[in-house]
Amino acid sequence: MPGESIVTGPQIDPSKCTLCGRCDSVCPKDVLLVKDKKVVTVNDDCMLCSHCYAVCSPGAISFPWFLKQVKFSSFKYREKILSSKDHSPSEIVNIFRSRRSVRKFSKDTVDDDCVRDLVEFAVTAPSGSNCQEWEFTVVNGRDKVWDLALQVKSFFVKINRLAANPLVRILSIPFTGRKLLNYYRDHYETVRRAIRESSMGIDRLFHGAPCVIVIHSGMNGSTPVEDGTYAAYNICMLAHYMGLATCLIGFAVEAVNRSDELKDYLDIYEKNRVHAVIALGKPAVKFSKHSLRKDYTVEFM
């Protein structure tokens, strides 16, 4: 009805509520309180984490205006809480280790429904203060991905032209520190080779992938970079078990974040920061062993 206020927090059905108090105890913002033999909301500080919904066995709590269940169309899904009794630590390790970064894709296309399901799973990732402010831009189709690769190439042609000049590298230090010097040392030659190969139709940026997913957001949340990274890895993990392959493309992240022209090309708000660019497609390589890892250090305090 016009003028009617919309409740942003949990709604409680008193006919189902057993007054168990679990919702009250789990609420991180102290929104709920068991009072006078009913559950009431005592402030409007709800962060929509839905913890109260998740612990309410009788189903007395809902968020009809703002929250929904996830749904998938490319595979059958039945919601089920899994515990340590359902999978051993060894199985979990193998599940995660079986996913690999792939840099050789087949020419097979990726169905839009599959991409939508990957994004649907991406937004189930945790986010700081439950902000969920991520946004997704999908470039699906090999011709479209190649056009994007050429746009990124144009950016790096300009950067390499600057980095190739030793005088520019030195003069840039007061303004950008050693960034251009480090770029020349670490990336100039690799990028120069990729630029040269692109003129022969070789895609060193996206490795021939037929689809690219860009994850971006504004920077107002408490942990926007981490939120985007979590969402990206959700995509990478589910893609593997959908028979697809992924690779995170750091060069594309840097290019888009530093180029207003690329943001405009992708229709991304200028204020947004790109957190991940994912090349996606069917793999043209099969791995028979897990990857090896470098040694590392750890200190317990």
Residue 8 has pLDDT above 50, yes or no: yes
- Rounded to the nearest 10 degrees, the angle between the axes of helix 224-241 and helix 112-122 is 130
Tokens in use for 222? Answer: 């408490």
For the chain, count helices (H), then strands (E): 12, 8
Q: How far apart are CA 96 and CA 109, in angstroms?
A: 25
CA-to-CA dists, residue 156 to 161, 164, 211, 276, angstroms: 8, 12, 21, 18
Q: How far apart are CA 51 and CA 197, in angstroms?
A: 52
Q: Which residue has the tokens 């144009």?
A: 154
Residue 193 has pLDDT above 80, yes or no: yes
- CATH dotted code for 11-62: 3.30.70.20
For the chain, the first-to-last Cα distance in angstroms comes to 59
User: What's the whole-number mean pLDDT along residues 151-172?
Assistant: 94
Q: Which residues 6+ apart lie within 8 Å of 280 measured at CB?
A: 110, 115, 118, 209, 210, 211, 212, 213, 235, 239, 244, 245, 246
Residue 44 has pLDDT above 90, yes or no: no
For position 140, what pLDDT does the model report? 98
Residue 138 has pLDDT above 80, yes or no: yes
Residue 2 pLDDT class (50, 70, 90 cuts): very low
Q: Which residues 6+ apart lie within 8 Å of 21 measured at CB?
A: 34
Stated pTM of the model: 0.91
For position 9, what pLDDT does the model report? 87
Q: Which residue has the tokens 């980095």?
A: 163
pLDDT per position as a tens digit, 51-100: 999 999 999 999 988 899 999 999 999 999 999 999 999 999 999 999 99
Residue 231 pLDDT class (50, 70, 90 cuts): very high
Beta carbons of 45 and 129 less than 8 angstroms apart: no
User: What's the whole-number mean pLDDT along residues 168-174?
Assistant: 93
Q: How far apart are CA 40 and CA 36, in angstroms?
A: 9
- CATH dotted code for 71-287: 3.40.109.10
Q: Give CATH 3.40.109.10 domain extents, the chain.
A: 71-287
pLDDT per position as a tens digit, 17-31: 999 999 999 999 999
Beta carbons of 67 and 130 less than 8 angstroms apart: no
Alpha helix (H) residue ranges in 67-141: 89-97, 112-122
Residue 7 pLDDT class (50, 70, 90 cuts): low
Residue 4 has pLDDT above 70, yes or no: no
For position 5, what pLDDT does the model report? 52
Q: Give CATH 3.30.70.20 domain extents, the chain.
A: 11-62
